[in-house]
Chain A
């Protein structure tokens, strides 16, 4: 009926990202070949390093947890029509909120401290998104500019606190004291032991399940609640939102705060799961990678979980690759990540036209 045939949802959601991934890997292989290593063997090490044994799987999913949180954060803002690239800063502030809650409630009760930590992480992350959100909604200051500025401010604030009031007494590093004993999220191996499965030790912890729950909650919010509906209307057509009686500024602020809360919860995995203290710049760029994860996952919570696992695998497998092949340094795995981000994250529609043309040709043949 339409002149231009539309590609089906399946093709767009699965085939396109896969093609992007394959192209990124081919290019990476070419770079590996250029520096004189065997690309096929490198790919083998990468996969082995990411999924080959229990500890590797643990690490892969541990990294994936960070990416789920930050990817969801980007996507929630995106559904409301905004590009929140302040996940990094919101995660830092979330870590701060989490740490303050732990020190405040740590002596009262461990359970209370954990709950406080979750709430603190979300609240501080949301709070850090609130100011750019209000500036955007009420004053029209562009959120991309303000959130990236807030990343710098957050980084400076954390640096100040960690060499000042929050620094470990007598310590030299920019980090806080250790969290009180027993205040940590349960590790995966401990959890699995409870049901009688033995699993090697790894940093993977309960926050992976929290992240999965968050993904479900985001899906539920977007598809099942009135607010999610109104948020999507605002994101797709602000003028129609006005027509429907939806307050665009209000929805914008709330959506961006939800986004900040999700980014802030990244600290649960990194700090309360593994480091057990607040350290400066613990976010390590995960907030930015969240943008690529959200794009590759098509801003769908389920897609984001898959994309996050892929990125986790590249992080973990890439690190292993460096150990196995002498010529491949840590920078090399950064190059591979970069290529995947470039193709899958930044240019998700690169191969849309050729695929469209191809599927159109198949369809016409089918008709003949």
Chain B
């Protein structure tokens, strides 16, 4: 039988970044095929090419053995490929029925369209065992139900192959079980499912075969029955990279620069994001924080930098309690204490992209005596500082009057780094140091982090990129579901175990914690 989807050496490049490099993928008809890889491994790019959102730079896509060129998602849909996005594409005030027929109404009058559609939908529901309230607004449904609406919507449009992009990221364990049951029904009815995740136990649970992607390349393709989570984890995170810069001695045990004691915090949505986190960070060390995105790393950065109040526990920096449920040092007080913060999401938080490089060069430091006095800005001092930053970090183009959005991600990040190290901080809190940074600049940023460590600074680096953490860290803390799954010294760190800890394998996490104590 011809494969449902086959790609032959498809590649996609964005500027300097080779997101997909000659990916060859074979998805058998009527099977559940898993794709695993870390964040940024190139999974999303691959999917977007499969459902017509991007066009490959080279290579072929074959559906049922026939060459296809998708220039938009509609093309892919008519070839029978549908995507269920991680973030649902539903109109909340509309009913389930209205959402399913949206864009495929079929009749000019809504009433007739609904009547015709509901017959067809009822039949589909019977066939695949759905039980959705068709006349209820989507806003009243649970997350799991909404996902089923998306799947039903795809089936209604005649999808033969469903792409599920991290479908379990938003689900409760019970909803996950329901989803897996549904996937099995889909399979038994002859549909093909492409299941994308970074949770290994899910791959083992539902897939027939699995393809591992790392760094935009296919690492391996295996039958699920012939593999283990260990093997997958190793393939996913890759081989250990030797340290670029040798560690220097700390020179005697110092007092902890940063101490977290049973810190709890809520996310913006009001869910528990940090669950009793405790650890210490010393001068002259880099503590890497690993974890799958959305497991509390964002909130951890905010709690440390004075942007989010803890709900329980306390944060102590340089011997001062800076964040408790009663009081919190604001970012300006923390900067005065020598804390520098490189924000995880640069464009959203770390810079004002519509303002000039010069104006961004003092963001966060605008109240220091260096840059303002008596409420007036010291324009000359600001201009001098910006010139210095552009010079020392080699920011290009070398024109601080340009709005920051005219600079590449790497150059923006260079300016941010220059700004944050300019005042010789004692402790740096860094989120995703090389996200959106061109490859050429990555090594330099890593070197700088290690150089700061060797100067005796205390650094905390959150990154989604395990390879990066292996290069820069002395110890790696792994976060999973708001908890600290363990802290591992880097020379004892084992990518496979880290991968399992990130994926929430509790037994391994326990072993590691014991090992590190």
Give A contacts to B, CB under 8 Å.
Answer: 2, 6, 224-227, 229-230, 232-233, 236-237, 239-240, 242-245
Contacts and interface: CB of A to CB of B under 8 A. Distances in A.
B504 interface: no
- Most B CB contacts (10 A, CB to CB) among A227, A239, A245 go to A245
5 contacts: A225-B375, A225-B377, A226-B367, A233-B363, A243-B305
A126 to B, nearest CB: 19
A239 B349 contact: yes
A213 B20 CA distance: 59
Interface of B: 305-307, 330-333, 335, 341, 343, 348-355, 359, 363-364, 366-367, 372, 375-377, 379, 406
Contact of B364 (A224, A225, A226, A243): A243
A240 B366 contact: no
Contacts of A224: 376-377, 379
B350 A243 contact: yes
B350 A245 contact: no
Given A229-B366, A244-B366, A236 B377 contact: no
B377 A240 contact: no
A230 B366 contact: yes
Contacts of B335: 245
Nearest to B341: A243
A243 B343 contact: yes
- Most A CB contacts (10 A, CB to CB) among B305, B306, B333, B352 go to B352
Given A242-B331, A243-B331, 8 more contacts: A2-B406, A229-B377, A232-B355, A237-B352, A243-B350, A244-B363, A245-B330, A245-B332
Contacts of B352: 232-233, 236-237, 240
B233 to A, nearest CB: 35
A350 B352 CA distance: 26
Contacts of B379: 224
Nearest to B346: A240
Nearest to B307: A242
A230 B375 CA distance: 11
A232 B376 CA distance: 15
Contact of A226 (B331, B375, B406): B375
A245 B363 CA distance: 9
Nearest to B397: A1
A334 B349 CA distance: 45
A134 B352 CA distance: 25
B376 A240 contact: no
- Most A CB contacts (10 A, CB to CB) among B331, B354, B363, B379 go to B363
Contacts of A230: 366
B517 to A, nearest CB: 35
Contact of B306 (A227, A236, A240, A245): A245
Nearest to B353: A237
Contacts of B376: 224-226
A7 to B, nearest CB: 13
A230 B352 CA distance: 11
A313 to B, nearest CB: 32
- Most B CB contacts (10 A, CB to CB) among A6, A225, A227, A242 go to A242
Contacts of B355: 232-233, 236
Contacts of A240: 348-352, 363
B78 to A, nearest CB: 30
A289 to B, nearest CB: 27
Contacts of B354: 236-237
